[in-house]
A and B are shown apart, each in its own frame.
Chain A
């Protein structure tokens, strides 16, 4: 952060050789470029992001995203304690948008199942079942469905987690390129405007 914010940096630490009066080239615009901290679920990482006054990106790749509401509270409280202005919070999750819920759910399952099965083997957690998959789609961290379904789910998360940015990880190994392209198209053309509409209509969490 000091390289971004300061003209010349003198610095020393334990894991990198020191710098003396170092000026970097090419120069960034004054104040540096937008920098976020991505966290997986460690509270320490959340507090560190707040200490530097940097925006927070939550990687939520499984389970109920609302589990992270406590992290968001901690982040916002920490920002205040460190005397920083409010910063945006974002969520990154996996998903696929197709014309209908059914098409999206079936397409994603085809490619998601073998991938998760392989990961389960490698890391020793249990194998994917259809029930668990549908639960992830319904209330968990998979954003798979029609534009309306995905928009409603993103809007819910935006309220519950006070998000100002949602990133969809739209690719998956072997997922056909047409399905990826359609996801992108629907996200931009239908989902994003619909989320904004939903949040304008019902801006606060009830």
Chain B
């Protein structure tokens, strides 16, 4: 289990300062850079930034922020989580990430996804009715681009390419590429078909529910004759010195964003009891380092995954408390999880 990979993920949620005021988008982005630098110092393996186009989240262009992080770090891997490929151009996505790969000496990786939000579709002029075909075509093109040879391709939602050579190339000849899925079996099978590593977002309910998806991925790669890479998972959480402190710092902000997004999706407002239940039995990793480590270890014993990413921001939790979460995750939680899994 020593080859387990531990990551931190964020969408660049706009935090509050110590007086309870939201910081600017610009400050929120610089905050993420500081967190990434700290994450490297405390031994976290990877930081992954998700693309959004909403006022709560400052990161719309993960690779631009990753480029900034690249020049201030040496070891931590730099990922997106996710890049909304459906509403982007695969050629540009490849170029931007191969640029980050250059700046970081080969530490870039991209997680392609369809996204759980839809704002990028009208913004970039795509029709939501094409949700499936856009992703299907673009992942096909992206897989071609990853070969780093001239590409000839045609589809229905993007102009064709004829012997198009795309630059810059990576030094290794291989841009690390994952596919992020929310819970659709078709997405799992598609990922297996291309032989990409699979990242599962488990943002609510019992993690065991996802065991069949991991099994499906392994069976599907077998069937397609592609490689079954270690599966990754990402779940939300927050760490403070005590369980009480973690909840007090996390809950009020969590409720605001959860209810705002819930209102868009027809969910009722979240109750404190549901929150507590999610911490106890579901997919919120919130509490003291020991509480979070025990919960992570339990999940990692149940699910056959090789990577665990903690989404360490959900709402406007204060900037200082976020930094503390990053610090405790690296210095305490990760070593404890390793110990628990070894014993």
Contacts and interface: CB of A to CB of B under 8 A. Distances in A.
A1 to B, nearest CB: 18
A25 B55 contact: yes
Contacts of A20: 122
B123 A22 contact: yes
A17 B126 CA distance: 8
A108 B90 CA distance: 38
Contacts of B126: 17
B29 interface: yes
Contacts of B122: 17, 19-20, 22
B25 A19 contact: no
A26 B123 contact: no
A150 to B, nearest CB: 30
A25 B123 contact: no
Nearest to A20: B122
Contacts of B25: 25-27
A24 B124 CA distance: 12
Interface of B is mostly: loop
Contact of B60 (A16, A18, A19, A25): A25
B24 A27 contact: yes
Nearest to B28: A26
A23 interface: yes
A144 B251 CA distance: 63
Contact of A23 (B26, B28, B55, B57): B55
Contacts of B26: 26-27, 29
A24 B25 CA distance: 11
Contacts of A18: 125
A32 to B, nearest CB: 13
B125 A25 contact: no
Interface residues of A, number: 12
Contacts of A16: 125
B53 interface: yes
B54 interface: yes
A105 B123 CA distance: 50
B58 interface: yes
Contacts of B60: 24-26
B125 A26 contact: no
A16 B53 CA distance: 18
A25 B11 CA distance: 12
Contacts of B29: 26
A167 B54 CA distance: 37
B24 A25 contact: no
Contact of A19 (B52, B55, B58, B123): B123
Contact of A17 (B12, B24, B125): B125
Contacts of A23: 55
Contacts of B54: 25
Contacts of A25: 25, 52-55, 57-58, 60
A19 B124 CA distance: 9
Q: Return the 9 tightest CB-CB contacts between A and B, nearest first.
A: A17-B125, A26-B25, A26-B58, A27-B25, A25-B60, A25-B55, A25-B53, A26-B29, A25-B25
24 contacts: A16-B125, A17-B122, A17-B124, A17-B125, A17-B126, A18-B125, A19-B122, A20-B122, A22-B122, A22-B123, A25-B25, A25-B52, A25-B54, A25-B55, A25-B57, A25-B58, A26-B12, A26-B25, A26-B26, A26-B28, A26-B58, A27-B24, A27-B25, A29-B26
Given A16-B125, A19-B123, A25-B52, 13 more contacts: A17-B124, A17-B126, A24-B53, A24-B60, A25-B25, A25-B54, A25-B58, A25-B60, A26-B26, A26-B28, A26-B29, A26-B59, A27-B26
